[in-house]
Amino acid sequence: MSTVDEGDRLAAASEGARAVGAGRVGIGMVGTAFMGAAHSQAWRTVNRVFELPATARMAVICGRDAARTEAAAARFGWAATETDWRALIGRDDVDLLDICTPGDTHAEIALAALAAGKHVLCEKPLANTVAEAEEMAAAARAAGTVAMCGFTYRRVPAVSLMAKLVAAGRIGRIRQVRACYLQDWLVDPSAPWTWRLSADRAGSGALGDLGAHVVDAVRFLTGAEFEAVSALTETFVAERPLPGGTGNAPVTVDDAALFLARLGGGIVGTFEATRYATGRKNALRIELNGSLGTLAFDLERLNELEFYDGTQPSGEAGFRRILVTEPDHPYLSAWWPPGHLLGYEHAFTHQARDLLAAIGGGEPVRPSFDDGLAAQRVLDAVGRSARDRAWCPIVH
């Protein structure tokens, strides 16, 4: 561990020590990869940006490999390390379990944390099956602690603004939804196998990884539940090389999922999640067509929202681009002056903000584990519909 890293780590620990008694919330995070890094950035930043009734203390990070976890602790600013997540459950310096692990471990960790009276932040999708998600949601309701599912895109300011405009009736009654999440990191057949390509580990492929975000965002924006779906899925590359060149492993999940849906309120929609949209790197796109107008968002232009106000005189109507960086836009008053733009990571800091506000100030927390369960039911129905080549109803 380098001196600088040790310095970061001591700074984190001393900051946490200062916070003891000042509404401190000890965080114990399981996972050291991409989501572990993103969540660490959020915990490190949140109290430096937002005035909150609670302060996050980055108490302990947990990973199976001791050396890699030590390196992550030094790099990300965690005060301690563990190699068994069960140790976090028993630590009295951990008030919140932050689960950043593959989907096959979410239920076991979350249930143990809730039973121990901890708050929980669980990465999406909530679980790999509806049964697991039902158990987790019931445990969260019984525990009475704060339990959030990490659908961070609700907290991109432009998406939050989109929800506010819908709720204010600015596009009237929603008729159609058009939503997709397009990536292309598997287009190269030589891209190595990962746990995300195993149904046992990940539950599903693009559907659960990317489609879950689409489902949650549409539930959040419309306030409507998915009622029935008709789907198809495809796996384009059936096996991939194992890292280290020790042979190949089968791909047992979808590479792409496409589905039609009926939602409450008479809404109809078309949906897509794929890792084969060559050239599209991280394009979560949502368009809502209403009786009075349209709103459209693209994650690859995440500071912008397109708005067509159909109430304007036809000679003046047209799509306008709202640059969502004004201080009265959601979360923006804490950041930079208009036009100075936010990024992917800021939604994670907003997620941490809302968690601390819920823990320290009793603010309601969404998306809850019940939201995670609702999304899981849609994912499950899409999988069954694709398998059975038939419409599949969804019972919530």
Position closest to ligand SOE via CB: 209
Closer to ligand SOE by Cβ: residue 91 or 201: 201
Q: How far is the CB of 396 from ligand SOE (least distance, A)?
A: 23
Q: Which residue bears the tokens 């990940």? A: 202
Q: How far is the CB of 125 from ligand SOE (least distance, A)?
A: 9
The footprint of ligand SOE (CB under 6 A) covers 34, 183, 209, 282
Quick one: residue 27, left, alpha or beta (phi over 0 = left, psi -120 to 50 = alpha)?
A: beta
Cα–Cα distance, 271 to 257 (Å, whole number): 8
Backbone angles phi, psi at 292, to 5 degrees: -120, 0
Cα–Cα distance, 235 to 331 (Å, whole number): 39
Closer to ligand SOE by Cβ: residue 145 or 183: 183
Closer to ligand SOE by Cβ: residue 80 or 159: 159
Closer to ligand SOE by Cβ: residue 128 or 183: 183
The three-class DSSP label of residue 223 is coil
DSSP readout, 161-218?
HHHHHHHTTTT-SEEEEEEEEE--TT-STTSPP-GGG-HHHHSSSHIIIIIHHHHHHH
Closer to ligand SOE by Cβ: residue 31 or 77: 31
Closest CA to 355 of 136, 108, 149: 149
Closer to ligand SOE by Cβ: residue 44 or 280: 280
In this structure, are residues 206 and 187 in contact, taking their beta carbons and an 8 Å threshold? no
Q: How far is the CB of 102 from ligand SOE (least distance, A)?
A: 10
Closest CA to 198 of 123, 252, 138: 252
Q: How far is the CB of 206 from ligand SOE (least distance, A)?
A: 9
Closer to ligand SOE by Cβ: residue 13 or 33: 33
Q: How far is the CB of 26 from ligand SOE (least distance, A)?
A: 25
Q: How far is the CB of 151 from ligand SOE (least distance, A)?
A: 9
Q: Tell me how crowded residue 142 is: count the other CB atoms within 10 A of its CB.
A: 10
Q: How far is the CB of 28 from ligand SOE (least distance, A)?
A: 21
Cα–Cα distance, 352 to 55 (Å, whole number): 10
